[in-house]
């Protein structure tokens, strides 16, 4: 190559190394970067050269000469991918188990909403620790360290839970399970996010999380409610076996992936973890991507686990579902997430992550409104399942978007931090739901079996005039009153606690009988009546007339509650066994009549229609009914006389048959004689 200097031409021989930039072109806008590589300028004769125009540009996400791995190439990735999938099955089973077990944990440990919500909050400590230590573990031990530590945390936690320790120990041990979840979540998301076709593979990865979340409530609910009705903690025997399999498969798959291998695969990684974390969390523009992704995943995971965690309790107590059916709604929700991640995992890359998220989120919000505003069990169950379908692909889409926006050497630190930080939403949001429920004063009313009661105003409960005479009717009166108003601290033994809870229920019922005949009490019961919260008349001719609870006596413990139909003016037993044991005195003999006197507009017209028995379209004569009634009365009288060892006075059926035969024979002989005379 020649360089002209004045009037002379000088031949300068200098080797020039050309760079292949074809692999840099992940986006059209990268053409500017590629073009800059072609404008190489030579140094002058003195050996000095101008600065390279691309020297200060950010490094591309994909290295120039690197070929992306696939889930099945190299061959060893196939088993590693399967091991990661199984790890996500265990993680999904862990997270979904909370929701299915919450009602039984609350009953077993006798806890309030806020205290029981600590099982959601305690994993936050584990998730936070995993976010901080994830990078260090990769540097020192590589993926081998994750494969050993995360399953071991699961296994130890499940063994301790299976022996049903005191509740404080349970809360602490859930931190260990949270640490294992956060570590595996961050590591396997970052690893698979760097593969070819990341949307599809991540979709399957998180679909296996959903699969575990589907199986977990199904197995737990079946074990607890069906057959032998095993205790809640027996479910963790299954989790122990799953965690052991996770430990064996993960160690076998990732044993060769040491810290040295990780550093070799990330040559641009800085030598210290602090520099790498600062670049991911503090230095722009990478920090902006990391924190936005972290906050998005925080909200997503929080909503996902809050829905899956409280849905069973909600369907049991608000939608008045049966135990098994309510448990299946959690299965339906996680099934929706699983199917959504598989199906929409192929749709998302064609739409683009940005457009896909913009479509999925509004659909999810619309389904949430349906779930909230339509108070029907089956509508809520279907809505929450479809909500899971559109929620499912959001997590993989966010991870893929982050891998495209961040340099490769920051994937483990940035995406690992985002996944672990987002996982803390699984602790914060469900705990917040329990705290809100507690603050709204639903602790006593939302307990199973109390659905017939309306919420008594706190001012009414604390007014001594309204409680006149009840201190002699209720044992442990003051403790019971504190429990009803949610200020009692359960610092007592199990026997004492059980007696206080029984007294609190009795006290609330007695106050309730007084409250529901006040203006505010009648208004609250009217709203429940209009929504058919007490049930509907089973008589066909009443056309699903709403029922009202009433007592047949005002004396406590005299008779259980009955349901009154104002259309047919008849009484019915409650459909659910948990309502059939409620004392009728908690509603009294006058409440239903007072309500219709105060609100005459809701009094339905009397039912005039009666069922008419017919045979092939012909009305059965009333004499037939009379004959059946007489026969029944005759049999009843004979039984009563027989018990008194008295003669019945009725002719036996055999004698009646013999007399009938004799009459028939005489009639036949008479007919034959008359015929002979003719």
Query: By the 8 A CB rule, do 552 and 590 touch?
Result: no
Q: What is the DSSP string of 305-320?
A: HHHHHHHHHHHHHTS-
Mean pLDDT estimate for the chain? 78
pLDDT recorded at residue 43: 37
Measure the CA–CA gap between 238 and 162, rounded to whole angstroms.
10
Give the angle subtended at the CA of 207 by the CAs of 202 and 209, to the nearest 5°.
100
pLDDT per position as a tens digit, 147-191 = 999 999 999 999 999 999 998 999 899 999 989 988 898 888 888
**Residues facing 289 on adjacent strands:** none
Torsion angle (degrees, nearest 10) of CA 27, 33, 37, 40: 160
Give the strands of the sheet with 562-565, arranged side by side: 548-550, 562-565, 570-572
Low-confidence ranges of the chain (pLDDT < 50): 1-65, 269-272, 441-442, 654, 657
- Which residues are CB-neighbours of 300 under 8 A, at least 6 positions away? 391, 394, 395, 398, 422, 425
> Which fold, 458-602?
N-terminal domain of TfIIb (2.20.25)
- SS3 at position 40: coil
CA atoms within 13 A on the CB side of 192: 28
Query: By the 8 A CB rule, do 126 and 135 touch?
Result: no
Measure the CA–CA gap between 563 and 204, rounded to whole angstroms.
51
Query: By the 8 A CB rule, do 303 and 429 touch?
Result: yes
Q: How many CB atoms lie within 10 A of CB 105?
A: 17
- SS3 at position 137: helix
pLDDT per position as a tens digit, 639-653 = 887 787 777 665 555
Q: Indicate left, alpha or beta for 543 from its phi (over 0: left) and psi (-120 to 50: alpha).
A: left
pLDDT recorded at residue 280: 60
pLDDT recorded at residue 268: 54
Give me the CATH code for the 78-439 domain, please.
1.20.1250.20
**Residues facing 8 on adjacent strands:** 5
Query: By the 8 A CB rule, do 434 and 116 touch?
Result: yes
Encoding tokens for residue 546? Answer: 């709403």
- Which residues are CB-neighbours of 389 under 8 A, at least 6 positions away? 336, 337, 339, 340, 344
Spans of all domains in the chain: 2-38, 78-439, 458-602
Phi, psi of 569 (to 5 degrees): 55, 45
Measure the CA–CA gap between 500 and 315, rounded to whole angstroms.
27
SS (H, E, C) 622-640: HHHHHHHHHHHHHHHHHHH
pLDDT recorded at residue 234: 92
Q: What is the DSSP letter of 583?
A: B
Measure the CA–CA gap between 617 and 136, rounded to whole angstroms.
85
Query: By the 8 A CB rule, do 259 and 137 touch?
Result: no
Beta strands 8-11 and 2-5 are antiparallel
Torsion angle (degrees, nearest 10) of CA 496, 500, 506, 511: 160
Encoding tokens for residue 636? Answer: 């009843």
Query: By the 8 A CB rule, do 463 and 518 touch?
Result: no
Phi, psi of 63 (to 5 degrees): -70, 155
- SS3 at position 58: coil
Q: How far is CA 608 from CA 563, 571, 577, 593, in A?
A: 20, 17, 31, 21
Phi, psi of 4 (to 5 degrees): -90, 130
pLDDT recorded at residue 26: 39
Closest CA relative to residue 301, chosen from 166, 180, 475, 424:
424
H or E element, residue 37: helix 31-38
- SS3 at position 560: strand
The yes-or-no answer to whether 78-439 and 458-602 have a common fold is no
């Amino acid at each position: 190559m020649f360089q002209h200097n004045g009037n002379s031409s000088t031949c300068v021989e200098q080797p020039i190394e050309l760079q292949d930039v074809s692999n840099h072109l992940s986006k059209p806008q990268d053409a500017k970067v590629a073009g800059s590589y072609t404008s190489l300028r030579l140094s002058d004769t003195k050996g000095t050269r101008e600065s390279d125009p691309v020297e200060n540009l950010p490094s591309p996400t994909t290295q120039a000469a690197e070929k992306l791995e696939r889930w099945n190439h190299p061959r060893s990735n196939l088993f590693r991918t399967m091991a990661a999938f199984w790890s996500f099955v265990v993680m999904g089973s862990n997270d979904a188990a909370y929701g299915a077990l919450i009602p039984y944990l609350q009953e077993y440990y006798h806890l309030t909403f806020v205290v029981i919500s600590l099982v959601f909050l305690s994993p936050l400590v584990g998730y936070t620790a995993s976010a901080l230590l994830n990078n260090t573990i990769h540097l020192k031990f590589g993926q081998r360290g994750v494969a050993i530590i995360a399953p071991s945390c699961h296994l130890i936690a499940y063994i301790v839970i299976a022996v049903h320790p005191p509740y404080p120990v349970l809360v602490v041990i859930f931190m260990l399970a949270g640490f294992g979840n956060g570590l595996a979540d961050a590591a396997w998301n970052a690893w698979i996010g760097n593969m070819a076709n990341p949307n599809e593979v991540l979709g399957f990865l998180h679909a296996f999380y959903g699969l575990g979340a589907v199986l977990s409530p199904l197995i737990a609910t079946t074990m607890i409610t069906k057959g032998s009705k095993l205790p809640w903690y027996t479910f963790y025997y299954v989790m122990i076996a799953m965690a052991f399999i996770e430990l064996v498969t993960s160690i076998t798959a990732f044993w060769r992936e040491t810290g040295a291998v990780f550093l070799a695969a990330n040559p641009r990684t800085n030598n210290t973890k602090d520099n790498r974390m600062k670049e991911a969390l503090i230095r722009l523009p990478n920090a902006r991507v990391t924190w936005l992704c972290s906050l998005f995943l925080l909200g997503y995971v929080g909503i996902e686990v809050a829905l899956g965690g409280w849905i069973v309790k909600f369907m049991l107590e608000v939608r008045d579902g049966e135990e098994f059916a309510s448990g299946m709604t959690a299965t339906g929700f996680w099934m929706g997430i699983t199917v959504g991640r598989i199906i929409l995992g192929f749709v998302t890359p064609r739409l683009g992550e940005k457009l896909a998220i913009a479509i999925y989120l509004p659909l999810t919000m619309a389904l949430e409104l349906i779930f909230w505003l339509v108070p029907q069990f089956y509508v809520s169950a279907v809505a929450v399942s479809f909500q899971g379908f559109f929620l499912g692909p959001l997590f993989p889409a966010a991870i893929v978007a982050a891998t495209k926006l961040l340099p490769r050497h920051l994937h483990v630190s940035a995406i690992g931090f985002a996944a672990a930080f987002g996982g803390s939403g699984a602790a914060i949001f469900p705990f917040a739901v329990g705290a809100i429920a507690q603050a709204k004063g639903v602790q006593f009313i939302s307990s199973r079996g109390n659905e017939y009661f309306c919420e008594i105003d706190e001012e009414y409960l604390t007014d001594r005039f309204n409680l006149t005479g009840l201190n002699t009717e209720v044992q442990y009166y003051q403790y019971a009153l504190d429990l009803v108003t949610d200020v009692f601290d359960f610092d007592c033994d199990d026997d004492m606690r059980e007696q206080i809870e029984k007294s609190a229920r009795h006290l609330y019922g007695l106050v309730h009988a007084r409250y529901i005949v006040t203006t505010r009490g009648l208004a609250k019961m009217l709203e429940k009546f209009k929504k058919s919260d007490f049930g509907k008349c089973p008589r066909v001719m009443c056309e699903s007339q709403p029922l009202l609870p009433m007592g047949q006596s005002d004396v406590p413990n005299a008779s259980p509650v009955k349901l009154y139909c104002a259309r047919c003016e008849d009484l019915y037993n409650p459909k659910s066994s948990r309502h059939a044991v409620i004392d009728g005195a908690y509603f009294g003999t006058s409440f239903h009549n007072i309500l219709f006197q105060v609100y005459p507009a809701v009094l339905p017209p009397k039912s005039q229609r009666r069922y008419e028995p017919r045979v092939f379209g012909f009305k059965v004569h009333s004499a037939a009914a009379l004959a059946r009634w007489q026969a029944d009365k005759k049999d009843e009288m004979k039984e009563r006389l027989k018990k008194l060892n008295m003669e019945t006075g009725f002719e036996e059926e055999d004698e009646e048959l013999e007399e009938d035969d004799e009459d028939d024979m005489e009639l036949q002989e008479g007919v034959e004689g008359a015929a002979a005379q003719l």
